[in-house]
Each structure stands twice: as C-alpha cells, then as structure tokens.
Amino acid sequence: MKTRLGLDIGGTTIHGIGVAADEPNTLIAELTHPTRKGAEGVVDGTAEMVEALLVRLPPDAEIISIGLGVPGIVHAGAVTHAVNLGLDGDPLDLAAALSARTGGVTVTVENDVKAATLGGLQWLREQGSGVDDLALLNVGTGLAAGLLLNGRLRHGSRGMAGEIGHLVHDPTGPICPCGRRGCLELYASGSGVRRQWPGTAAELFDAADTGDPDAARIRDELISGIAQAISLLAYGLDVSCVLVTGGVVSATPALREAILAQLGKDESTSLGRLAGISERVRWLPAGHPAGALGAALLGAADEGVGPWRS
C-alpha cells in the first residue's frame, strides 16, 4: 500500500501521521512526540518520529513521500527564522538531512501554515466544496495565512506570502518580538490574548459582558484584528474562501459570531455587499489535523496528484 507520512513540527510537539496515498482522509498511523530544538535536535527528532510511525504501519505499507510542516520561513528548500525550533542561524536543509536518514525517500519541507492550507482544502473537498483557491488564516501563537491560488500554493518571491501578522496595526502599540510596534498579531492571536489576559478567550468574553472595561477593550481588539486579517485576504486576493483555524477561534463560538457581525457591518455599502466577505468565511473544526494532513499531501502536490500543485 502506497503510503505518505506527514509531520507537523510545532514549537512544543511533533504531530505525525501516515495516510494511504489513494485515501488520504483515513489516518492509518498517528503519533505525537515532544519537539527537540536546534538543528541536530530537529533532524534527530524528525527521524525518530518517522521510525516510530513506520513500526505502526501495516506490513504492506510502502513510504512514497514524507512531508514536513515547520514554523519558519522555507525558501529554496532551506528553513530559516524558525525561532520556536531554535533555528535562527544558518539555513537548515531539513529535506536533505532527513532523506539521508530515511533511505532516500522524497522529503518535502514547507512552512507549517502553507502545508496546513493543503489539509484545509482537503477538508473543504470532503464537505463537497469545489473551491480551488483559498486563504487559510491561522490564528495560533502567531497570525499568518497560507494561500492556495488556482490550485497552487503561493510561496512568494522570498517565501513570505501570507505572513500578514507583522503588518503594523497600531504604530503606538507595544513592541513586537519582531522589533516593530503594534503588529497585528499582538492583538489578533492566541499569544496576543495571553499577553493581556490571564484566562481563556471564553472567559475574556464573559468578563467583557459583565462590564470589565479592560476585557472589553482586549475582546474588541481581538475581534477587529481577526476581521481585518480576513478582509485583507479577501480584498487583496479575492479568494473564494477564507478558512479560519486556531485554538482561540475554534474554542470560542462567541468570537466567531462577533467576527461575522463585524464583517457584516462592512456589507452595508454597495462595495461591501459586492465583496460579501462574511459569506466567504469557513471555520475549520477543532481538532482537525490539517497541519499533519497537509504535510502528508505535500508529496502529492509535488507529483501533481490531486486538486493542487506545489
């Protein structure tokens, strides 16, 4: 059975899966390991995850590709700016290093949010959607989008397509780890909420509803920041779907309703009605393994198999 492996390498854990090449919706192996940091740690940890998945696969499984999603900038096959993995120095050719450890299997490395976009498209297809262009907006620790335009993942000239979290939202705001002030992700992300509020987003909404002025301000900035990110993607690219994912959004129904209400206000004008941005928004269900699934599908995209191309 031809099998693809997909590994979503996060700052805390690696999520690895195996899927049959002709039936990618069914996971035939799944594991989670702690992430190891630094160039050597990442290569060793990734190779160990592959070995651990191999022993859980059916005996007739034949690995035809391995895909890796990493939280950094991937350009010309090399990983840079993966601060959460302890890789902020020399570019790391993770594909070559892992391929050498796995008997020469084809390895594709991609930015994690871009890889998850393939997983998001696969989910939309399962739901009966025929879209072949979408933006996947990941409201996670950071804020970033993956772009799939006319079935092709957009990398950009420097591998930075979709990195919208560091647009300046408020030039008088706090200093961002990137060095600028008031970046969008300081307001519209999980870390943006944690930076300002000790509880969950649901508790933030409860406190705002009971009259806490700080909670109301943080809540309103979260709503308007995510709505702005969705509008930016819809107006800038005119994609037919903006698929939103991330723990803050999936765990907080009141946030999803408030974002749609905010977008709806823009539809009181004729241009806003023409844009119809709220109609384009879909929410990826909590727990959907889009990151690892998308990583597994990178090999299919490289081969031109399926509704996408790399």
- Range list of β-strands (E), 113-175: 134-139, 143-149, 152-153
H or E element: which one contains 207? helix 201-209
C-alpha to C-alpha distances, 96 to 43, 79, 108, nearest whole angstrom = 10, 11, 9
Nearer to Zn ion, 193 or 208 (CB): 193
Q: How far apart are CA 138 and CA 112, in angstroms?
A: 10
Q: What minimum distance in Å lies between the beta carbon of 50 and Zn ion?
A: 34
Nearer to Zn ion, 176 or 244 (CB): 176
Q: How many residues would you count in the chain? A: 310
- The 3-state DSSP class for residue 102 equals coil
Nearer to Zn ion, 81 or 166 (CB): 166
**Residues 27, 18: contact at Cβ < 8 Å?**
yes
Q: What minimum distance in Å lies between the beta carbon of 306 and Zn ion?
A: 35
Which residues make up the interface to Zn ion (CB under 5 A)? Answer: 166, 176, 178, 180, 183
Phi and psi at 250, nearest 5°, equal -70, -25
Of 246, 235, 228, give the one whose Cα is nearest residue 120.
Answer: 246
Q: What minimum distance in Å lies between the beta carbon of 190 and Zn ion?
A: 15
Q: What minimum distance in Å lies between the beta carbon of 196 and Zn ion?
A: 16
Q: How far apart are CA 220 and CA 161, in angstroms?
A: 27
Nearer to Zn ion, 229 or 293 (CB): 229
Nearer to Zn ion, 8 or 163 (CB): 163
Nearer to Zn ion, 5 or 248 (CB): 248
Q: What minimum distance in Å lies between the beta carbon of 187 and Zn ion?
A: 11
Q: How far apart are CA 114 and CA 99, in angstroms?
A: 21
Q: What minimum distance in Å lies between the beta carbon of 117 and Zn ion?
A: 22
